[in-house]
Amino acid sequence: MHNKQYSYLLERSIETLFLATTPKALESYIEVISDIFMSEAAPVIPYWMVLSALLFVLGDEESKTRMKAARLLRFFDDRQSKKAKLQDLDISISDKTTAVYKKAQFEISQRLASQHPELAFHVFAEFAKHFKELHADNQRNMVFALLPWIKTVNLQLDPMGGPTAMSYMLMVNLFEITIKCGSSLHHEIQALWQALATGPYAGNVQLIVDFVIDLSLNRKYQNFVPYAKQVIVFLSTTPAGQKVIDFLLLQIGPRTMSNERREFKLSADEPEALPYFADLTSTVTGGPKQVGFLVSCYYTRLTYL
């Protein structure tokens, strides 16, 4: 309270809601954070930062900790006059039965996602920032809270015909999660890709297909192909599955398979505006670039037909 000029202290405390290793530590941090934000002279912190952490805490095993997170979310909702009626879920979120409070966590996340769709990219990036540092149970908890947000995402193109910085950030972060956790959390990762493809924005499917193909061709590492195939399979099992096949057919040809595909690049200041931007260069080591990579990609596409 007396060191508000050092925003790092509060930001680090919020991060600890993801990373606390004991129930007592988590309860203590959320108590302090609640006192600070509910004070008359609360510091200015991006809402998406604390929102993401509180949604994650709603899946904690301790009822008292969940209730503190729910109370602070109601406080923000009332202050913004959004009226998501979160108080209706107080009894469920305090219940000791896992299925009951998990359902309430999802419902709260869904209501807030519908109230704040403009925050979806930032909420996803904040989750992605901490995802790989968590153990599997907490990763599943994070996916559960994230699904309503990813359904609201509208992937968009920039004037040059490639994905916007925010759209690219989301896909590259989700691709990193797929690489690191696809085998241990197969169904959860599948649900994220499918939610992105089955939302209200039909153009998402083509942009995702273009992304995984461009990523593989630009990297030219054989190790990228299995992950690209995995994403395509996820998409093909959605109602938009036929569109996926149509997009792949359009991609088969000498011109689209050339080495001269545009590689997306961010301007120098854009990464600083994003909570997290995965570096796939360090995520997958492919060794020397494969001479026969394009032929392999070509064959990979044919296998889906």
pLDDT (0 to 100) of residue 253: 67
Domain end residue (candidates: 102, 135, 168): 135
Q: Note whether residue 148 is domain-resident.
A: no
Q: Based on the domain organization, do 130 and 100 belong to the same domain?
A: yes
Residue 134 CB contacts under 8 Å (≥ 6 apart), including other chains: 18, 19, 142
Q: Note whether residue 244 is domain-resident.
A: yes
d(CA 153, CA 117): 8
Q: Note whether residue 255 is domain-resident.
A: yes
Q: Based on the domain organization, do 293 and 170 belong to the same domain?
A: yes
Q: Based on the domain organization, do 178 and 266 belong to the same domain?
A: yes
Q: Based on the domain organization, do 157 and 186 belong to the same domain?
A: yes
Domain end residue (candidates: 135, 168, 185): 135
Q: How confident is residue 107, by pLDDT bands cut at 50, 70 and 90?
A: very high
Q: How confident is residue 20, by pLDDT bands cut at 50, 70 and 90?
A: very high
Q: Based on the domain organization, do 120 and 181 belong to the same domain?
A: no
pLDDT (mean) for 76-89: 86
279 to each of 72, 114, 212, 227, 261, how far by Cα in Å?
34, 30, 15, 16, 20
pLDDT (0 to 100) of residue 62: 95
Compute φ and ψ for 120, nearest 5 degrees.
-60, -45
Q: Based on the domain organization, do 70 and 189 belong to the same domain?
A: no
pLDDT digits (tens, 9 = 90+) for 136-165: 999 999 999 999 999 999 999 888 878 888
Q: Note whether residue 146 is domain-resident.
A: no
Q: How confident is residue 182, by pLDDT bands cut at 50, 70 and 90?
A: confident
Compute φ and ψ for 224, nearest 5 degrees.
-75, -25
Q: Number of structural domains, the chain? A: 2
Q: Based on the domain organization, do 260 and 130 belong to the same domain?
A: no
Residue 154 CB contacts under 8 Å (≥ 6 apart), including other chains: 199, 201, 203, 204
> 211 pLDDT exceeds 80?
yes
Q: Note whether residue 94 is domain-resident.
A: yes
Cα dihedral value 283, 229, 250, 303, nearest 10 = 150
Percent of the chain with pLDDT over 90: 50
Q: Based on the domain organization, do 10 and 113 belong to the same domain?
A: yes
Output 298 or 95, whichever has higher pLDDT. Answer: 95
Q: Note whether residue 147 is domain-resident.
A: no
Residue 251 CB contacts under 8 Å (≥ 6 apart), including other chains: 209, 213, 257, 301
Domain end residue (candidates: 80, 102, 135): 135
Q: Based on the domain organization, do 126 and 193 belong to the same domain?
A: no
pLDDT (0 to 100) of residue 124: 95
pLDDT (0 to 100) of residue 267: 46
pLDDT (0 to 100) of residue 40: 78
Q: Determine the structural domain holding residue 295 and report its residue range.
A: 153-305
Q: Based on the domain organization, do 93 and 219 belong to the same domain?
A: no
Q: Based on the domain organization, do 52 and 196 belong to the same domain?
A: no
Q: Note whether residue 141 is domain-resident.
A: no
> 254 pLDDT exceeds 90?
no
pTM: 0.87
Q: What is the mean pLDDT of the chain?
A: 84
Least trusted range by pLDDT, from 24-38, 142-156, 262-276: 262-276
Q: Note whether residue 127 is domain-resident.
A: yes
Q: Based on the domain organization, do 122 and 237 belong to the same domain?
A: no
Point out which residues pair with 133 in neighbouring strands.
none
> 89 pLDDT exceeds 70?
yes
